[in-house]
Amino acid sequence: MKHRTVVVTGASKGIGRASSLKLASDGYDLVVTDILDLSGTVADIRKTGVTVNGVRGDISNPATIEKIGKKIDETDSKVIGLVNSAFSMASKPFLRLNDDDWDHTFNVSFFATVKLCRKVIPMMLKVGGGSIVNISSVHALAAGDVNSAAYDAAKAAMNALTRSLAMEFGPENIRVNSILPGLVTSERIIEWKREDPLGFSASESTHALRRAGTPEEIAEAVSFLISERSSFITGSSMLVDGGQMASINETAALNIVRNSALLGGRNARNHSGKRR
């Protein structure tokens, strides 16, 4: 009898890694992929007794998508799940974002998801269905700071893709959902906390729970959406954000003050862009 495989991108670290480990403990075989070394994730997954294959490569490179496809073909396992967690973003104010910045952000954070879905969905169709989970962000719904225009747009595109694929492939029993995390303590966020404790705690304070989440808390939602426990959920954008989107975020005022300083005093009311 064939085992069931889930593909997870961005699996070296953070939410992708935590999701891979949770799915392994759920009993799925894994194909994990990342631009960075995956040996730690692969070794930890192996301890659970499931089969795991790692594919190292840039997810925005079509050759990596081909390698992932080949790896799935090689395993005696049917692919029933895909988790798109890899991302990269150019973090600059809008007027400093050049075409390469936009291309890079969209190629890694959006088009790689498009291409991997195009590779994996035909495989899911052959085995009678599956579940795709796109790790989006609260930034798909609300603007981040002055540096996140490209990221915000890529995440909004991911949510739109989620809905379109859900509609197109629902009749074939393929469910497609997005998870929208709030602030989550992946390594890079812990690094940010070290560099900018005030910014980190200001961000935490915008959550109803007054704290950041953990990658493992996001992995719980991934596990649920991949499994049949969520069999009537598709096309959704699931907030897993500690209540960050539940409020009008008056505490975000601190961030606005900080951003204003970053822009040399230019504030939101000054549409001409003249510095004061």
Ligand X SMILES: NC(=O)c1ccc[n+]([C@@H]2O[C@H](COP(=O)([O-])OP(=O)(O)OC[C@H]3O[C@@H](n4cnc5c(N)ncnc54)[C@H](O)[C@@H]3O)[C@@H](O)[C@H]2O)c1
Least Å distance between CB 184 and ligand X? 4
Task: Select the span of 22-30, 67-75, 84-92, 93-101 touching ligand X (CB under 6 A).
Answer: 84-92
Report the residue from 5, 77, 88, 230 that binds ligand X according to the rule CB under 6 A: 88
Please say whether the beta carbons of 30 and 20 come within 8 A: yes
82 interacts with ligand X by CB under 6 A: no
Instruction: Please list the helix, strand and coil fractions of the chain in percent, rounded to the nearest 5, in that order.
Output: 50, 15, 35
Lookup: tokens for 116: 């991997």
As measured in angstroms, the least distance from the Cβ of 28 to ligand X is 19
**Partners of 54 in beta bridges:** 32
How far is CA 210 from its chain centroid?
Answer: 22
Should residue 54 be labelled a site residue for ligand X when binding is judged by CB under 6 A?
no
Rounded (5°) CA angle 76-82-86 = 125
Q: Is 32 in the site for ligand X (CB under 6 A)?
A: no
Residue from 28, 87, 151, 169 carrying the catalytic annotation: 151
Q: How many amino acids of this chain bind ligand X (CB under 6 A)? A: 27
Active site residue 151: yes
Cα–Cα dist 173/221, whole Å:
20
Site string for ligand X, 152-181 (x = CB under 6 A): -----------------------------x
φ, ψ (nearest 5 deg) of residue 237: -115, 100
36 or 257: CB nearest ligand X: 36
Q: Using DSSP, state whether 133 is helix, strand or coil.
A: strand
> How many whole angstroms separate alpha carbon 258 and alpha carbon 245?
21
41 binds ligand X (CB under 6 A): no
**Residues designated catalytic:** 151
Instruction: Give the binding site for ligand X (CB under 6 A).
Output: 10, 12-16, 34-36, 58-60, 85-88, 108, 135, 137, 181, 183-184, 186-189, 215
